[in-house]
Structure 1
Amino acid sequence: MRGWPLTEIERHDGIAAHEHRPGGWRIGRYPGPELADDGPALLAELAEETGAPALTGFVLDSDAVFVEGLSARAGHWRARLVREAAEAYCEDDDEDFDAEFPRPEAAARTAAAWAKEAGLAPDPSGLLEVFAVEGAAFAEELFFRLLCELGIRPED
């Protein structure tokens, strides 16, 4: 989320930590399962309140990350980091995982479009690499790599 103090958004309660990145981007961390059930609603609220594209990542036991983005032109999109592990978490769901969550190539294209709309300079080959990783030791680290490949890099 860009250019908006996290403490001023409607759902700021529960943000355990936040950091600033160049370009006015803010990264907030919610502990616990808040994003599992309420991720799409939170994403829509963030985008509406800030008037900017928004992105969330829900980490499952450091094994996988469920990523969702929203922007005016790109709309709502979903993808998974460490796809094989994410699919294992969804085995009991009555949904077609492949139909619901794009393969790495499609996820990278959609994420790049979102980033460009957000005024960022994404690395398409880096995005593809991130979405294709299997067996990451800590999926949280992969999510922060995704942010970098999108163009949301830390201060040098």
Structure 2
Amino acid sequence: MGFSGTLVFCRSERPLAQAPVFGGLPQEVRDETAGHGEWRPRAGGWRTAQVGGDWWDEAMLRDLVRWSGAPACLGFVFDSDVVYVVGLSPSGREWSVTLNPKAAAALQVDPPAGTADALGWFASPQGREAVARRLATFEAEVPEAARDVLAWAAEAGFGAGVEVAAVERMLRSEPEVFAEELFADLVDVLGFPAVQAA
């Protein structure tokens, strides 16, 4: 069983569990985040927190951006297979993208009603074609998403010299193991500071 929850990325000089927007979460969630939910910080105060459960929404992202005064994004993780990422900047620039699109395509296709053997249907020509059509939809969104994400990073002062093609390749990539890795890869490819040594 993989992780399901939210990855929270923003700039903060203190641990993210201490940010006011976390105050509305249950105490046990805040304690878990403070205890072992925060990834190693990046230079300049850029931080990522891993929050289990379904607590975050896009209204909280707006609160986070307002509080930090900097671009921020949320990665909604499904069982460590797929991450749906939404970003927002102080200027109001918004974007969204799905990481690990091949897995997402398979998850978003349902066998026809009454199908007795769902796995067999996915392996059939009809199933493979349905997944391929959904994947093509994700693929068509990549070029615009890459430009939007780069513009968002630029508002944070990063991304200069990063080629759109490099971001596109990252958005089409698959994780070695967990989809959360792709969230970190996205932040890296956009030119944000590297994770600080332990």
TM range (shorter): 0.7 to 0.9
Q: Could you tell me whether the CA contact under 8 Å between 2:95 and 2:148 is conserved in 1?
A: yes
Q: Could you tell me whether the CA contact under 8 Å between 2:65 and 2:72 is conserved in 1?
A: yes
Which blocks of at least 5 consecutive residues in structure 1 are unaligned? none
**CA distance in 2 between partners of 1:34 and 1:101 (Å):** 29
Q: What do residues 43-77 of structure 1 show as CA deviations (whole Å, max 9, x unaligned)?
A: 11100111111111111111111000001336221
**CA distance in 1 between partners of 2:176 and 2:82 (Å):** 8
| Matched residue type, 1:140 | E
**CA distance in 2 between partners of 1:11 and 1:104 (Å):** 31
Q: Could you tell me whether the CA contact under 8 Å between 1:43 and 1:54 is conserved in 2?
A: yes
Listed as ranges, the matches of 1:61-140 within 5 Å are 61-73=79-91, 75-91=93-109, 103-121=141-159, 123-124=162-163, 125-134=165-174, 137-140=177-180
CA RMSD in angstroms, aligned pairs only: 2.6
Q: In structure 2, do the counterparts of structure 1 residues 99 and 74 end up closer, same or farther at CA, with 3 Å as the change threshold? A: farther
Equivalent in the alignment of 1:150: 190
Residue 58 in 1 paired to residue 76 in 2?
yes
**CA distance in 1 between partners of 2:92 and 2:169 (Å):** 21
| Matched residue type, 1:79 | V
Q: TM-score, normalised by structure 2?
A: 0.65
Q: Could you tell me whether the CA contact under 8 Å between 1:74 and 1:117 is conserved in 2?
A: no
**CA distance in 2 between partners of 1:70 and 1:147 (Å):** 14
Q: How many residues align?
A: 149
Equivalent in the alignment of 2:11: 2
Structure of higher CA gyration radius:
2
| Matched residue type, 1:65 | V
Q: Could you tell me whether the CA contact under 8 Å between 1:2 and 1:25 is conserved in 2?
A: yes
Q: In structure 2, do the counterparts of structure 1 residues 24 and 102 end up closer, same or farther at CA, with 3 Å as the change threshold? A: farther
**Alpha-carbon offset, residue 42 of structure 1:** 1.7
SS in 1 for 2:66: helix
Q: TM-score, normalised by structure 1?
A: 0.80
Q: In structure 2, do the counterparts of structure 1 residues 2 and 59 end up closer, same or farther at CA, with 3 Å as the change threshold? A: same
Residue 20 in 1 paired to residue 60 in 2?
no
